[in-house]
Amino acid sequence: MFEPDSTPTAGNYPAAVVWDLDGTLVESAPDLATALNTVLEAHGQSTHGVDAVRLMIGGGVPKLIERGFRAANAPLGDAEIQAIVPEFMDIYSACATNNTYLVDHAREALEHLHQSGVTQGLCTNKPISVTRKILAALNIGHYFDSVIGGDSTACRKPDPLPLLTCIENLAASPAGTVMVGDSGAAVGAARAAGVKIIIVPDGYTGVPAAELGADHIVDDLRGVPARLREVHGLSLIHISEP
């Protein structure tokens, strides 16, 4: 259960909250592993278990391909990786919603903030077409007033451009926004954009959450609303200082 707000309004929270997707709101590793392993098999390479693929996710499709082939002892050059991206996307687009599901308490967290009047956005390195397909399949797309994918801007996280674009689309400011993510890429983007960030554990990274450099860590998504209220309260105190 979420701790109820004494006054459940957006005034208790930052102006905007921007979420990461993979590893933060959804468990997509099974379908990503299926696509990656299908590509690896087609190229005569050994495949990887889902747990291994989880730690390869982050940075977009080219990075996943790069890491997958390198782990199979078949490293690729940049041109080879880019040539495989369309093949991967054809396969992944066909299976992206087969075994992808919301992590525990994701829907409740999104609904809680929605009912409190908080503006929410999504900023992911996953291509926008398959991102929207997943959001529709899981029935969570209506929570987001801006959705930025890995191919929506010229750069991917940890570059700040995707996050700043999402914030601009929300008519918010970096100082009035908090990001919720699970990886070093999310932390890097938030830091570069001047945005506070909350990290959830057990995401798609081999680095312990405590070592990612976030402003706050929560045990699971149930802790996000309280942390957001805390961050917002501190911001108000800071702004009111002479």
Looking at 20, 22, 31, 182, which residue is catalytic?
Answer: 20
Examine the residue annotation and report whether 145 is marked as an active-site residue of this protein: no
Among 48, 40, 53, 183, residue whose Cα is nearest residue 125 = 183
Contact 151, 157 (CB under 8 A): no
Contacts of range 236-241, beta carbons closer than 8 Å, 24 or more positions apart: none
E strand intervals along the chain: 16-19, 26-27, 101-102, 119-123, 146-148, 177-181, 196-199, 216-217
Helix (H, G, I), strand (E, B) or coil at 48: coil
Q: Which residues contact 222 (CB under 8 A, 6 or more apart)?
A: 1, 2, 105, 108, 109
Q: What is the CA radius of gyration of the chain?
A: 18
Residues acting as catalytic residues: 20
